[in-house]
């Protein structure tokens, strides 16, 4: 036992009132280096132990203020010097806009610094052992007892006197606590091979899990039957067909609805022989023909089909439709000229529907007979 170094004398109490009383007495007695261990924070303990306010606040203040200062500098430099951009007409040094970030960084710096200060300055990290660890005393005070531990470091410490003092206070289980020689010899537990290999395992696991999460898990599509179905997208190549085109030509011989293909392309004689006017002449049909003729034909052919163009030489005048030739043409032959055009006269198949073209043909017939009436017209 003689080779062991005494750390402290400990004693246990049953109630918070007793421990407060004991702490007060110990402080009054003049002991400075003693500690109280309770399962939960006991109100009024700081006062009873005559503790000075913690110095941690000063560290927090200093680090917090340096965070404030650094943020102001950083943002001023960025927005006013390095990359000056006018945002919403505000000045480059727009302090109100800086406030939220200054606040955040101040809080961040203060809190991180507080934790680090606690670890490195107060707990002397990487030291991770304490003589009270793994003692029956510590087991008791972390569940239901209230304990006091007077350290041998204290100037007033005297083994017999402290024992008697604790007894007088009514403490139970008064026991000495010794430094653990093994732990004393270990200077930096963090550099132990055991600890290093633990770190290595954690590193491998964490980086592996991170890699898998970021590169694999996040790219698994939960279900792909709607977003990734094969379909044709405009202006994009397509895998559905061998030629890579999404748009298909209609099957050969397809006839669009309501559009019967014109059979007599480039064949005016065929059209003249085979096409017959399907319309039965009526007031409505003539009215339709008149409207369409006046709109589409009269600018060149004149209102009476005499070839008296209103275009004043901007387009060659067409011949009169009252000529013997055109009068003797069949309806189909006229229909063909409107549908396909003739020499410099353009086609009118896209402006006029089939029915409208036939109506125009009937109207032209009426115009022709107004100048060259037949005997039968008078009856
Ligand atoms: C832009 C002027 C212009 C318009 C509009 C126009 N034509 Fe013509 N048309 C001509 C010209 C020019 C000719 C003569 C073409 C030629 O040299 O064979 C012609 C020829 C014709 C002929 C044949 C005449 C012949 O003697 O060979 C007919 C029939 C005819 N047009 C009907 C129409 C009908 C019906 C319309 C309205 C749907 C129409 N044209 C609209 C300029 C026009």
Per residue in 37-96, pLDDT tens? Answer: 999 999 999 999 988 888 888 989 999 999 999 999 999 999 889 998 888 888 888 889
pLDDT band at 187 (very low <50, low <70, confident <90, very high): low
Supply the mean pLDDT for the chain: 89
Q: Return the pLDDT at 188.
A: 61
Verify whether ligand 1 is closer than 6 Å to residue 305 (CB atom): no
Cα separation values, 303 from 310, 352, 364, 365, Å:
9, 18, 10, 13
**Distance from the CA of 184 to the center of ligand 1, in angstroms?**
116
Cα 362 → chain centroid: 67
In 3D, which of 74, 54, 52, 66 has the Cα closest to residue 113?
66
Residue 339 pLDDT greater than 50, yes or no: yes
CA-to-CA distance for 195 and 178, rounded, in angstroms? 25
Give the nearest ligand 1 atom to 326 CA.
Answer: 26
Residue with the bigger pLDDT between 17 and 259: it is 17
Q: Measured between alpha carbons, how far is 221 from 275 in angstroms, rounded to an integer?
A: 62
The yes-or-no verdict on residue 201 having pLDDT over 90 is yes
- Structure token digits, residue 347: 């086609």
Residue 252 has pLDDT above 90, yes or no: no
* Beta-carbon count within 10 A of 359 CB: 26
Q: Return the ligand 1 atom nearest residue 297 CA.
A: 37
Distance from the CA of 220 to the center of ligand 1, in angstroms? 68
Could you read off the pLDDT of 132-185 as tens digits, one per residue?
A: 888 999 999 999 999 999 999 888 899 899 999 999 999 999 999 998 777 666
Q: Whose structure tokens read 């139970």? A: 172
Which residue CA neighbors atom 39 of ligand 1 most closely?
Answer: 297
195 lines ligand 1 (CB under 6 A): no
The pLDDT of residue 249 is above 60:
yes
Band (pLDDT 50/70/90 cuts) for residue 373 is confident
Confidence check: pLDDT of 260 > 80: no
221, pLDDT greater than 80: no
Q: How many other C-beta atoms lie within 10 A of the C-beta of residue 342? A: 12
Give CA–CA dist 341/176, Å, rounded: 121
> Would you say the CB of residue 345 lies under 6 angstroms from ligand 1?
yes
Long-range contacts, stretch 12-18, CB < 8 angstroms, 24+ apart: 12/137, 12/140, 12/141, 12/145, 12/146, 12/147, 12/171, 12/172, 12/173, 13/145, 13/146, 13/147, 13/148, 13/170, 13/171, 13/172, 14/145, 14/146, 14/172, 15/146, 16/42, 16/146, 18/146, 18/170
* Alpha-carbon 85 to chain mean position: 25
| Two tokens, residue 279 | 């319309």
What span, in angstroms and rounded, lies between the C-alpha atoms of 36 and 141?
9
318 in contact with ligand 1, CB cutoff 6 A: yes
- The residues, ordered by sequence, that sit 6+ positions from 33 with a Cβ below 8 Å of its Cβ are 150, 151, 153, 154, 157
Nearest CA to ligand 1 atom 2: 300
pLDDT of residue 189: 62
Identify the residue whose C-alpha is closest to ligand 1 atom 37. Answer: 297
Distance 315 CA to ligand 1 centre (A): 11
Q: Is the CB of 334 under 6 A from ligand 1?
A: yes
Q: Which of 290, 293, 301, 316 to mutate to test the pocket of ligand 1 (most atoms within 8 A of CB)?
A: 301
pLDDT value at position 1? 45
pLDDT band at 115 (very low <50, low <70, confident <90, very high): very high
Question: Between the CA of residue 42 and those of 21, 29, 140, 166, what are the distances in Å?
Answer: 12, 21, 16, 20
Ligand 1 touching residue 321 (CB < 6 A): yes
Answer yes or no: is pLDDT of 2 > 80: no
What own/partner pairs with CB < 8 Å and gap ≥ 24 does 280-285 have? 281/362, 285/359, 285/362
């Amino acid at each position: 036992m003689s080779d062991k170094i005494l750390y402290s004398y400990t004693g246990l109490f049953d109630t918070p009132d007793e421990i407060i009383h004991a702490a007060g007495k110990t402080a009054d007695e003049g002991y400075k280096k003693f500690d109280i261990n309770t399962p939960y924070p006991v109100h009024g303990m700081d006062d009873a132990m005559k503790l000075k306010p913690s110095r941690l606040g000063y560290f927090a203040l200093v680090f917090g203020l340096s965070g404030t200062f650094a943020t102001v500098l950083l943002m001023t430099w960025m927005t006013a010097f390095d990359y000056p951009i006018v945002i919403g007409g505000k000045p480059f040094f727009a302090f109100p806009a800086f406030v939220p970030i200054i606040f955040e960084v101040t809080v961040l710096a203060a809190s991180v610094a507080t934790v680090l200060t606690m670890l490195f300055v107060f707990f002397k990290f990487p030291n991770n052992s304490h003589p009270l660890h793994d003692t029956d005393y510590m087991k008791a005070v972390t569940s239901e007892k209230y304990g006091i531990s007077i350290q041998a470091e204290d100037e007033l410490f005297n083994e017999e006197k402290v024992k008697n003092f604790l007894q007088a206070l009514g403490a139970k289980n008064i026991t000495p606590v010794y430094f653990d020689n093994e732990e004393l010899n270990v200077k930096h537990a963090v550099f132990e091979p055991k600890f290093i290999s633990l770190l290595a395992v954690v590193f491998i696991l964490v980086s592996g899990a991170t890699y898998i999460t970021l590169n694999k898990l996040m790219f698994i599509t939960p279900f792909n039957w709607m977003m990734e179905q094969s379909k044709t997208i405009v202006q994009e190549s397509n895998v559905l067909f061998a030629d890579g085109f999404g748009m298909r030509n209609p099957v050969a011989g397809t006839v669009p609805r309501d559009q019967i293909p014109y059979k007599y392309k480039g064949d005016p004689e065929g059209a003249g022989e085979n096409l017959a006017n399907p319309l039965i002449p009526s007031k409505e049909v003539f009215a339709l023909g008149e409207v369409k003729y006046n709109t589409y034909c009269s600018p060149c052919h004149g209102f009476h089909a005499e070839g008296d163009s209103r275009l004043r030489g901007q387009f060659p005048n067409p011949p009169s439709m009252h000529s013997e030739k055109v009068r003797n043409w069949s309806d189909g032959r006229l229909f063909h000229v409107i549908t396909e055009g003739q020499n410099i006269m353009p086609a009118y198949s896209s402006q006029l529907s089939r029915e409208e073209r036939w109506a125009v043909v009937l109207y032209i017939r009426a115009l022709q007979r107004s100048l060259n009436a037949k005997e039968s017209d008078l009856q």
